[in-house]
Amino acid sequence: MGIDSHASLPKKVKTELCARFRALPEAEALREYSERAEVRNVQTKMILGIYRYADRPDDSLNVAEAVRRLRECFPFVGLQERWGESLWLFSRTMRGAAPFSAAQALVNTRPGAYDRATAVRHLGDYADCDTELYAAAVQLYEERLAAARQGNTCL
């Protein structure tokens, strides 16, 4: 679940924005970035079909509808922090249309310094529509993973 939310910004603005975030202490940069209008609640907005992210006020978002769509319209939901397991679930959900390789599931094709514990520590009290949507996605993932382990799939 992610996109380049700065795609429409001019290159100079993007460069300046990145430099500003790099100059801030880690916690402040992460918090400031997460509160930007074009980033905040972007996953909820995408699922609701809203593509001009900054133009839509957060209080007008219907998280319950986003969760309903996630449950009813997305045959697969995976979690980045459970990458290998998500690939296995994807393969099971799509009935082998995407062959699963345990060895390939362990390959990190996007190496970086992302540390979930750091993000959680700095955003532990952060709550928005995407936070609620993510909690529902984790629950849905667990349900579908349990069903797949019992030999059932949603397709």
Condensed to tens digits (0 to 9), the pLDDT of residues 96-120 reads 766 667 676 666 666 555 555 666 5
Sequence-ordered list of residues with C-beta below 8 angstroms from that of 31, at least 6 positions apart, any chain = 122, 123, 126
- Statement: residue 14 has pLDDT above 80: no
Q: Which amino acid is at 135?
A: A
- Statement: residue 3 has pLDDT above 50: no
Q: Check: CB of residue 71 under 8 Å from CB of residue 140.
A: yes
State the pLDDT at residue 8.
54
State the pLDDT at residue 123.
61
| pTM value surpassing 0.75 | no
State the Cα–Cα distance between residues 41 and 52, nearest whole angstrom: 12
State the pLDDT at residue 82.
87
Look up residue 6 and give its two tokens. Answer: 């700065």
Average pLDDT over residues 84-89: 88
State the Cα–Cα distance between residues 59 and 120, nearest whole angstrom: 24
Q: Check: CB of residue 146 under 8 Å from CB of residue 124.
A: no
Distance of CA 146 to the CA centre of its chain: 21
Look up residue 50 and give its two tokens. Answer: 């809203």
State the Cα–Cα distance between residues 35 and 11, nearest whole angstrom: 21
